[in-house]
Amino acid sequence: MAIHTLLLIRHGEASASFGEHTDPGLSNDGKKQAEKLMETLSKENFDNFKFISSPKLRAIETAQPLRLEYNKDLVIRNEFSEIPSNNIPGHEKQEWLRGVMSQETTALPEAVKLWQNNIMSGLLNINSDAIIFSHFMVINAIAASVLKNNKLLYFYPDYTSCTRLSVEDNQIIEIILGDDKKTLINL
């Protein structure tokens, strides 16, 4: 079977932080980052790529300029959505997320373990080149799984950074991490 490429793009800066809003769009800076993404990826040819996104507005808005440039449909896939935290009160979400990020994977809440398994299953069921517009924790869940890290947090992908995976026979054979965030993450 042929090798295919999966590009994981973290969304641009959101207009609200985790816990402040359940589905914020992009901030003005985030919109500029989404536009600049076309420049960053200008050497790529995406004619044969599928465009996939988390259902969250910030991921969809990040995909928009590139999607329009290549006249692509955007397939929404729930498994690439943000870490499940619906049962956590908004004012407690940042502290909860910090705790989850620092826990051993064996001690993670069952909903988070299931979320990570669903991400990996969905990822490995993509059998063609694709760009996936997603989230900080989704990209970390993938990196942690691929690199067999014992914690969910592996690195700090910057806004609109691109993590590249090579997949062959439903196995990830290479991972190239996107740019690390140079400033503190807005949790």
Distance CA 163, CA 9 (A): 7
Closest among 161, 167, 164 to 128, alpha carbons compared? 167
- CB-based burial of residue 121 (10 Å sphere; 0-12 exposed, 13-18 middle, 19+ buried)? exposed
User: What is the model's pLDDT at position 1?
Assistant: 64
**165-176-131 Cα angle (round to 5):** 40
pTM of the model: 0.93
Q: Tokens in use for 66? A: 């590139």
Which of the residues in the chain have pLDDT under 50?
183-187
Closest among 153, 158, 125 to 141, alpha carbons compared? 153
User: What is the model's pLDDT at position 2?
Assistant: 87
The enclosing H or E element of 61 equals helix 57-69
User: What is the model's pLDDT at position 180?
Assistant: 78
Contact 6, 160 (CB under 8 A): no
Half-sphere exposure (Cβ direction) of 49: Cα atoms closer than 13 Å: 21
- 11-35: b (≥16 Cβ within 10 Å) or e: bbbbbeebbeeeebbbbeebbebbe
Instruction: Measure the CA dihedral 92/94/100/103, to 10°.
Output: -100
- Sheet with 50-53, edge to edge strand ranges: 74-76, 50-53, 130-134, 4-10, 162-168, 171-176
3-class secondary-structure state, position 130: strand
Domains identified in the chain and CATH numbers: 4-176 (3.40.50.1240)
Distance CA 134, CA 137 (A): 9
